[in-house]
Amino acid sequence: MLEPSADEIRDWGNSVIQFMTDYLGNLRDRSVYRHMSSDRIRDRLDPALPSKGTDFDGLLKVFREAIVPFSRQNAHPRMFGYVQSPGTPLAAFADLLASTLNANLTIWRSAPAPVELERLTIDWIRQILGFDAEAGGLFVSGGSMANLTALAAARQTKHHSSGRLRMYASSATHFSIAKAAALLGIGWEDVQHVAIDERFKIRMDDLVAKITADLEAGYVPFCVIGNAGTVDTGAVDPLMEIREIANRFHLWMHVDGSYGAFAVLAESARKLFAGMEQADSIALDPHKWLYLPVDVGCVIYRDPEIARAAFAHKAEYTRMFGEEADEAFVCWDYGPELSRRFRALKVWMLLKGVGLDCLSAAIESNLACARYLESMVQASDDFEMVAPVELSIFCFRHVPVQLRSQSPEAIDAFNERLLVALQRDGNSYLSNATLGARFALRGCVLNYRTTLRDMEILLDDLRRVGRTLPA
């Protein structure tokens, strides 16, 4: 039924809360991943288009027995694959409350209090990053949309130019940048990929050389991207130097901080982000290192009026009148979305309910776990690092004694088999990266539940699983 009684809603809520309690209470007892084929999962679901409704207990039973066991357990403390947040119970309740209210944050008058809460929370993020008070922005679906939105604003600064636009990003930059360029009509081929150094950071000499060559060839350079934590190694580009180059050549400076920017909250990493606050725009993912459930990304503009020039559109059915300036705020003037869910509630509830001190400590703990893994690898005789640890991403590989005399290709092949076997084993989960033409096991610590002991268990799991594989 579409309109359950108050008692039914209460019973449903109690059942869901009991499931959450049980699920989160025994996370460590679960496998991170349970290998299963698509056909076997589909066989557990009734494929018939329903003409009659099913009671809530039946729906929850399917979720509990057919969905949960065959999902990757992203909240598990040894889920190291990708850049994956565990979510928090507090934010899960916030999502429920936001969906209950079902506010649509298009303009102020459509959702007055939710829009005000978003503007307040965006300002808190501005302060975390150190941007000037004039900066502003929006919540979007994720880092890819934030990058797309920021680059659309960047393009606006050269909209009168007649030449072919060029933008610059290191070869380690996330593919969403090139994808955004294609969607904006700039083109994949006009994203100039700049060389990286031995620490996987953008090389300033190559950046200057590529900009200079493009100017001489008649192109119109308009934007340079700095990484505040790449997704393959966690490298942070020299953002202050990028700002200087951007000023010299009159370029928009965008920072992709989707993974790493919130590590500025950790005292031990703060110096890495010097210059980030001088970017013209930055993409962020609160659903990564603020430990929030998807989806919530964020874009911050140093000068929001440039974004407004890129996105504002006039139509009679959207015309604002009879409102004062603050109450006439139009969200779609600063980004591409019209319908927008109340993403700000979970960001506000987490920041307000937990506080920056607690978040800073959790991020520091994640950084310490990655550094501990690096120290154990360096002290071992059967593992080797493939990239230095800068934030919480670690790239390494297993080289048992019987493989030491083998070719790099043989070691690569062994680690590829090891990765698949580890994932199917289910006790720990890693992903992969290719660095300097070599295959690497790659992990990311992004979970407030992860401990130093979990890093020890990871290496133990790799050794145990590795012994079952032919060399």
Q: Is the pLDDT of residue 112 over 90?
A: yes
**DSSP-based three-state secondary structure for 433:** strand
Q: Is residue 67 part of a domain?
A: yes
Asked whether residue 237 falls in the same domain as residue 322, the answer is: yes
Average the pLDDT over 126-153 and give the result. Answer: 97
Residue 382 CB-density burial (10 A; 0-12 exposed, 13-18 middle, 19+ buried)? middle
Q: The domain spanning residue 129 has which CATH number?
A: 3.40.640.10
Asked whether residue 113 falls in the same domain as residue 175, the answer is: yes
Average the pLDDT over 149-178 and give the result. Answer: 93
pLDDT for residue 396: 98
Domain that holds residue 45: 1-30+34-71
Q: Per-residue confidence at 329, pLDDT binned at 50, 70, 90?
A: confident
Q: Per-residue confidence at 327, pLDDT binned at 50, 70, 90?
A: confident
Asked whether residue 47 falls in the same domain as residue 64, the answer is: yes
Please state, in angstroms and rounded to a whole number, the distance separating the CA atoms of residues 302 and 179. 23
Residue 402 is classified by DSSP as G
Residue 222: phi, psi to the nearest 5? Answer: -135, -20
Structure pTM? 0.94
Asked whether residue 365 falls in the same domain as residue 326, the answer is: no
Asked whether residue 299 falls in the same domain as residue 369, the answer is: no
Report the range of poorest mean pLDDT among 54-68, 301-315, 408-422.
Answer: 301-315
Q: Is residue 97 part of a domain?
A: no
Domain boundary among 354, 387, 406: 354
pLDDT for residue 469: 93
In total, how many domains does the chain have? 3
Q: Is the pLDDT of residue 319 over 60?
A: no
Q: Per-residue confidence at 248, pLDDT binned at 50, 70, 90?
A: very high
Average the pLDDT over 194-210 and give the result. Answer: 97
Domain boundary among 337, 354, 371: 354
Q: Per-residue confidence at 326, pLDDT binned at 50, 70, 90?
A: confident
Q: What is the dihedral of CA 107, 113, 115, 116, to 10 degrees?
A: 130
**DSSP-based three-state secondary structure for 308:** helix
Asked whether residue 281 falls in the same domain as residue 369, the answer is: no
Which among 97, 87, 63 has a CA at the least distance from the CA of 294? Answer: 87
Q: Is the pLDDT of residue 24 over 70?
A: yes
Q: Is residue 136 part of a domain?
A: yes
Asked whether residue 217 falls in the same domain as residue 324, the answer is: yes
Q: Is residue 79 part of a domain?
A: no
Please state, in angstroms and rounded to a whole number, the distance separating the CA atoms of residues 416 and 414. 5
Q: Per-residue confidence at 320, pLDDT binned at 50, 70, 90?
A: low
Asked whether residue 362 falls in the same domain as residue 321, the answer is: no
Q: The domain spanning residue 42 has which CATH number?
A: 1.20.1340.10
Please state, in angstroms and rounded to a whole number, the distance separating the CA atoms of residues 437 and 414. 15
Residue 186, CB-side half-sphere exposure with 13 Å CA sphere: 29
| C-beta of residue 260 within 8 angstroms of C-beta of residue 289 | yes
Query: 101: how many CB neighbours lie within 10 A of its CB?
Result: 13
Q: The domain spanning residue 361 has which CATH number?
A: 3.90.1150.170
Asked whether residue 233 falls in the same domain as residue 362, the answer is: no
The two tokens of residue 18 are 């009991």
Asked whether residue 216 falls in the same domain as residue 194, the answer is: yes
DSSP symbols for 373-406 = HHHHHHH-SSEEESS--SSSEEEEEE--GGGTTS
